[in-house]
Amino acid sequence: QVQLQESGPGLVKPSQTLSLTCTVSGDSVTSATHYWSWIRQPAGKGLEWIGRLHVYTSERTEYNPSLKSRVSISADTSNNKFSLTVTSVTAADTAVYYCARVRVSGTEDYMDVWGKGTTVTVSS
């Protein structure tokens, strides 16, 4: 059974850097058939895709154009984890952050396993 678990600080000060980690169990982050993704959701609002990482293809990354200048996703293959970094955070970055596994499909990819989410608040 594949499980994903987010971890990281729940409170970040404005202008600082937010760093979160997703620990994967039951699968390998080096899988050829999966990307690893981050999604966020402000309280009471919809889902916003942040980006994804394909470790197998030389850690190929793809990001939401609206966030691309401030975000980075990377992997720690030794510990089967992947991470998200968001720089220069503001209150608008306050949200529940989810990590998810993205199944590479012959037609179109889909997010088939999600973590439980971790709440991040940006405040001084």
Partner 1 sequence: SFELTQPPSVSVSPGQTASIACSGDKLGSKYISWYRQKPGQSPVLVIYEDNTRPSGIPERFSGSNSGNTATLTISGTQTLDEADYFCQAWDRTTAVFGGGTKLTVL
Contact call for residue 110 and partner 1 (CB under 8 A): yes
Question: Which segment (9-17, 60-68, 70-78, 84-92) binds partner 1 by CB under 8 A?
Answer: 60-68
**Residue 49 interacts with partner 1 (CB under 8 A): yes or no:** yes
Single out the residue of 8, 21, 111, 119 in contact with partner 1 (rule: CB under 8 A).
111
Shortest distance in whole angstroms from residue 102 CB to partner 1: 8
Instruction: Tell me how far, at minimum, the Cβ of 100 lies from partner 1, in Å.
Output: 8
User: Which segments of the chain are extended strands (E)?
Assistant: 3-7, 11-12, 18-25, 34-41, 48-54, 60-63, 71-76, 81-86, 95-103, 110-114, 118-122
Q: Is 64 exposed, middle or buried (0-12, 13-18, 19+ CB in 10 A)?
A: middle
- Site of interaction with partner 1 (CB under 8 A): 37, 39, 46-49, 52, 62, 64-65, 98, 103, 105, 107-112, 114-117
